[in-house]
Structure 1
Amino acid sequence: MTMKVQDDAPVGALLKRWRERRRLTQMQLALDTEVSARHLSFVETGRSRPTPNMIDRLAASLEVPLRERNELFLAAGYAPQYLERDLRSPELHAIADAFRVLLDAHMPHPALVLDRWWNVVDRNAATDLLLAGCADHLLEPPVNAVRLSLHPDGLAPRIRNLGQWRSFLLGQVRHRFERTADPQLGELLEEAGRYPGPDAERAAPRDVVVPLRLSVGDEELSFFSIAASVVSAMDVTVDDLHIEAFYPADATTAAAFTGSGMDPGCSRTDGSRG
């Protein structure tokens, strides 16, 4: 399952892999990027070295993430064109603050900032209610949301529709792995796929989204999630991040959180226990 991306292949071979992964012909990509099919063929076979501008144009059309775009530049003999800063760096303060505003504004409902590997970068205080009973070894940084959800020492025993949720979550990891060919995602997919769990259940007729039905105390709470990312990212770190915000899927869940009396203050974790 694991696919190696960062290797010694020339840039033309890597671009060809991305084109084939997107199921495009040379002619389709040439038309999309206003590059001649002949020149694109020369690039893919190594007869022509693409300029940084052409690499960026082709990568943008192929929806190559910034992390992998830097690999293309390196393979062509150029320096990486996109910086990868720490989220705590001064240049990313505005982004970090915006994420924090969204996390706080989402109270009293759970929300997390996740990186491309589903590691928890930050979260709000409402997520504490969801993590009760999870084993300590799963809450050591970096906390991984997929592992925490599907591991038998994590949320899995409390997820009422585990087969349905497991199928959905593994499908999300598989989709991102297929889109990026990131080997870490391939490893996560293999690991999480080995955790015990029932087969996918049929959706209930009333469901309009895949819900997360979770036992909390004597109640069953039901959520659906909405993901948001910075679509204009020009930094690798920012490009990798997204917010996963959970909303009540029924009146019982809405009432449980509205009446929880939780303080909508900050619960900053940076991937660790908050």
Structure 2
Amino acid sequence: MSIVASGASALPSAPDGKGVGPLLRGWREQRRVSQLELALRAGSSARHISFIETGRSRPSEEMVLRLAEHLEVPVRERNALLLAAGYAPHYPETPLDDPAMDALREGMERLIQGYEPYPALVVDATYNVLAANRGIAMLLDGIPEALLAPPLNAMRLTLHPEGMAPRIRNHRAWRDHLLEQMDRQIALRRSEPLRALYEEVAAYPVPDPTPEDQPLDAVPYFALPMRIEHDGRVLSFISSISTFNTPMDVTVSELAIETFLPADPATAKYLQNLRS
């Protein structure tokens, strides 16, 4: 499956009625950092941070970016902070189908194709699938066409009762893992679309527990596996997610490459035999 653009979002606008001060204070409180600690990190003073947060002082563009970096504000939200302070956005948001992204697209395609026969895919900030290899296509065998219509969404495909969910042997444990992962990302990004997706998939019916739905500390693996039935067999995979270091573009900052490593020799042998 080739990489597809998910549709570029408009650059963020400053929230109505909010200046940069209250927004920065919100991020600082969410990160549980004191004004003094933030000032020390940013090479400023607690008094200056206080003045910025209360609107008594307008921060420079450089200061906004410096504070955002030390508060680990996502790239998209850094643009929103700049707009709230009266500055132009600093980070572009380039559509994936733009020629400027050719090298990125080709690199990601080579990466996930080179990972075959093991499954791998590329998703955006709301888990829309932008690319997937043949290992992923294998796991989607038998899923209704309605769920496979664009835009594919990895969370819906995994947790929907007509998707992969009925074939995941440790569904409750895997579901809990995915919901916790989304919850952490919502706290980090303050993303309303991601929150809406979370509420949707969390409301899907949950199958009755199975013997494999055991606590994390009782799982006999080095990490929680996804154990899924395929063609009369149970395959076990460990998931790993990679993102880009120091992204300078909103689109790139929200890309993630998820790979599934066989969790046992039987799964690895089965997948290798499929390729031969």
Superposed pair shares fold, TM > 0.5: yes
Cα offset for 1:154? 0.6
Deviation of 1:201 after TM superposition, in Å, equals: 3.2
- 1:267 aligned residue: none
Question: Is residue 22 from structure 1 mapped to residue 35 from structure 2 by the alignment?
Answer: no
What is residue 10 of structure 2 aligned with on the other side? none
Determine helix, strand or coil for the equivalent of 1:220. Answer: strand
Residue aligning to 1:132: 141
Secondary structure of 1:254's counterpart equals: helix
The answer to whether residue 155 in structure 2 is matched with residue 146 in structure 1 is: yes
Equivalent in the alignment of 2:247 = 233
TM-score (normalised: structure 2)? 0.90
Aligned partners of 2:221 and 2:263 also within 8 Å: no
Alpha-carbon shift at residue 167 of structure 1 (Å):
0.1
Map of 1:216-255 to 2, 5 A cutoff?
Answer: 216-255=230-269
**Does structure 1 retain, via aligned residues, the 8 Å contact 2:14–2:81?**
no
SS of 1:201's partner is: coil
Contact 2:64 2:82 in 1 (8 A): yes
- Which residue does 1:7 correspond to in 2? 15
Structure 1 residue 6 displacement after superposition: 6.0
Q: Identity, % of aligned pairs?
A: 45
Counterpart Cα distance in 2 of 1:55 and 1:181: 18
Q: How many residues align?
A: 258
Three-state SS of the structure 1 residue aligned to 2:72 is coil
Partner residue, 1:103:
112
Tell me by how many angstroms 1:238 deviates: 0.4
Q: For residues 88-139 of structure 1, what are the alpha-carbon distances to aligned partners after superposition, in whole Å with 9 as ceiling and x for unaligned?
A: 2122222112111211110111100011111101111221110011122211
* Alpha-carbon distance between aligned partners in 2 of 1:6 and 1:234, rounded to the nearest angstrom: 20
Deviation at 1:232, TM superposition (A): 2.3
Greater relative CO, 1 or 2 (CA 8 Å, sep 6+):
1
1:201 aligns with 2:209: no
Q: For residue 132 of structure 1, what is the amino acid of its counterpart?
A: D
Could you tell me how far apart the structure 1 residues matched to 2:248 and 2:205 are? 39
1:64 matched residue in structure 2:
73
Q: Could you tell me how far 1:205 is from its partner in structure 2?
A: 4.2
Amino acid at match of 2:179: L
CA contact (8 A) 2:14 2:83 kept: no
Tell me how far apart the structure 1 counterparts of residues 83 and 149 of structure 2 sit (CA, whole Å). 34
Whole-Å Cα distance in 2 between the matches of residues 258 and 126 of structure 1? 11
* Structure 2 residue ranges without an equivalent (≥5): 1-12
Letter in 2 for 1:72: L
Q: Which residue of 1 aligns with 2:165?
A: 156
- RMSD of Structure 2 on Structure 1 (CA): 1.4
Match runs of 1:258-269 below 5 Å:
258-261=272-275
Question: 1:197-239, CA deviations, whole angstroms, 9 ceiling, x for partnerless residues?
Answer: 1576313341221100000011000000111111121000000
Question: Matched residues in 2 for 1:228 and 1:220: separation?
Answer: 26
Q: Does 1:41 align with 2:50?
A: yes
Shift, 1:193, TM fit: 0.9
What amino acid does structure 2 have at the position aligned with 1:67?
Answer: R
Letter of the 2:112 partner, please give it.
L
What TM-score, normalized to structure 1?
0.91
Distance 1:248 1:157 in 2: 20
Residue 265 of structure 1 aligns with which residue? none
Q: Aligned with 1:108: secondary structure?
A: coil
Conservation of the 8 A alpha-carbon contact between 2:120 and 2:132? yes
The structure 1 residue matched to 2:125, chosen from 116, 125, 134, is 116
Q: Match for residue 178 of structure 1?
A: 187
What is the identity, as a one-letter code, of the residue corresponding to 1:128? Answer: A
